[in-house]
Amino acid sequence: MTGDIKHRRGHEYASYIMEAMVTDIPYKIGGNVLNNGLISNLPAEACVEVACLVNKYGVQPCVQGPLPVQLAAMNMTNINVHLLTIEAAVTLKKEHIYQAVMLDPHASSELSIDQIVAMCDELIEAHGDWLPKYK
């Protein structure tokens, strides 16, 4: 191998984030963070993607404010599924798994309630060695 090895920076965030934190030259990214009021009309415990400022202090999410009602409603169709999935993991109640899948826009458009329950039961049985025991 002869000659200089050339390297071009890609478009991935990692090197830009590291550079901003080390040099304190601000950089803006779209980051997935805990909402905590960043988008005021979505639940605080939801994960949201917002603009984030990166500098020597780390990654600081920026307040977005409220979404238009129709966009908040669209987001809630998935956030409700996520929150019920977390509830199932915390309480170990199968009913929350069923409810989460019943609220999933794709699953509920393709399957009946009985099919959703059967599918969930099959998946829990198939992956039982990796899952806690649900009641």
Read off the pLDDT of residues 71-110 as tens digits, 9 standing for 90 and up: 999 999 999 999 999 999 999 999 999 999 999 999 999 9
On the 0-12 / 13-18 / 19+ scale of CB atoms within 10 A, 80 is: middle
Quote the pLDDT of residue 65: 96
- Note every long-range contact of 74-80, with CB atoms under 8 Å and residues 24 or more positions apart, other chains counting: 75/42, 75/46, 76/42, 77/103, 77/105, 78/105, 79/42, 79/43, 79/46
Torsion of CA 124, 102, 96, 119, to 10 degrees: -10
Low-confidence ranges of the chain (pLDDT < 50): none
Domain positions in the chain are 13-61, 69-130
Question: 51: which strand partners?
Answer: 30
Quote the pLDDT of residue 1: 58
Sheet strand arrangement including 58-61: 27-34, 47-55, 58-61
pTM of the model: 0.78
Euclidean distance between CA atoms 130 and 108, whole angstroms? 26
Give Cβ neighbours of residue 92 (< 8 Å, ≥ 6 apart): 132, 133, 134, 135
